[in-house]
Chains A and B, each alone.
Chain A
Amino acid sequence: MRNFFGKMKGRTQSPPRVDMSEVIWSWTGSFIGISAVGLIHFSLLDQTSLIMIIGSFGASAVLVYGVTRSPLSQPRNLIGGHIISAATGVTAYLIAGKIPWLAAALAVSSAIAIMHITKTLHPPGGATALIAVIGGDSIHNLGYLYVLMPAGLGALTLLVIALLVNNLAPKRRYPEFWL
């Protein structure tokens, strides 16, 4: 019991703040990345409910442009996480779509489990899976196409920009690994 509450105290200090150049490169990368994803979505897709998926890519931008070293930010996780979560979300909707809260929970929890198993853990994948369930008719109508577009396409766009911008920064490199 004491141990249980003792764990809640924490045990270490927070990591250091990054310096200003890191902040600027994070801003630049995510600005360009989200611009590209936004342009593709707003001009090519031009459907209101598809815009939801952008929320998911906003989260990816934090990782891919803000924490470039993290295992969670690597191409395998970025692409794999979105694609696997999208497929899991669509499947969860097909199975349990009649009970929205259950389908939503099933989508997210299964996406996390499968990302773990496949070593593609990418936090925004949780959002991608959830949006497959709660994203409305136009997303439901896509069926499994949702996996490739918008999910796969958006992730790929972010990856291309990450490869270009992160490697322009003198003290950054990306990726740490591909597979």
Chain B
Amino acid sequence: MAILNEEQEMLRDMARDWATNESPVTAWRKVRTEKPAEGYSPDAWNTMAQMGWAGVVIPEEHGGSDFGWMSAGLVVEELGKTMTASPIVATTLAASAIVLGGSDEQKARWLPKLASGEVVGTLAFDEGAHHGGKTEASVSDGKLSGTKAFVHEAHGASLFVVSAADGLYLVEKGDGVTLSDRKLTDMRSHATITFDGAAADKLADGGDDLADKVLDRARILTAAEMLGMAQQVFDVTLDYLKQRVQFNQVLASFQALQHRMADLFGDLAMMRSAVEGGLEALDSGHGIPRAACVAKAEANRVLHTMSREGVQLHGGIGMTDEYDIGFYLKRARVLEASWGSTSYLRDRFASLAGY
């Protein structure tokens, strides 16, 4: 675990307490059953925003707390543990795009509202089922047209950061913006968005590689959510093996399972270091692109194995909807495919390293 300062410890403990007590997996079950239009509980999101979690990477002069990425990662990790449905990752990423590339005016207009949770933002980048395909959306005369596939948290969002052929744009939900639901196995909010001459405001101050910078952040923060999920699957599985009796012994006493858990524990250690390494790179500003590949590729690999093993080691009960472990398996594959599959990230890593 990274060495945390007092402020970060407080933030993490607060997030952990809230997630455990106010937003356990039963809260996600409720969202799944009640199907609020946003895809999450608006009350829960308001509470999260009031606790300042929406503004962790937003500068103080724009209403945020500017605690940095490690802090944002800590919160997201805790929320990942309990499968809390919220737009925190999406909104943080949209805000970071504005922090990195917005004009003073754009920052003043949007950041305070994003920090307070009043406006939910999200990224609308990919146009196909795989991350990293072509970008065909384009803007002429300030009007954006194109289709974005599988936009996370699209239902609650009123501000989209959209990639077009010549850079990133801000588009508000409204005229020329049409959503169609894409119901994925994780049951969270995803939609295809069609922009048809929607008013678009360019993020012109971020340089040519603004989209890449935002994507690095997306990879790392998503990896932080995946870390929380992997940690939880590990903990819950270990607990289960310590309780379940077969052959007059607790399963935890079987060497075959002990070695499996030891392997998973090692993997989890690697994943945690990779994710924290990514968050630290963002805070220090050094080596971000490569650290982002490492964080997300390790998160993909380890959560993939962990979610599979979690179900397997629970036996039949792991296959039931009544048990929580299946939620982690289903969300794992969606996050794994978002912002770069393992092979995509390996390829990018090799290119960045010049081979």
User: Is the pairing of A and B real?
Assistant: no
A binding-site residues for B, Cβ under 8 Å: none
Residues of B within 8 A of A (CB): none
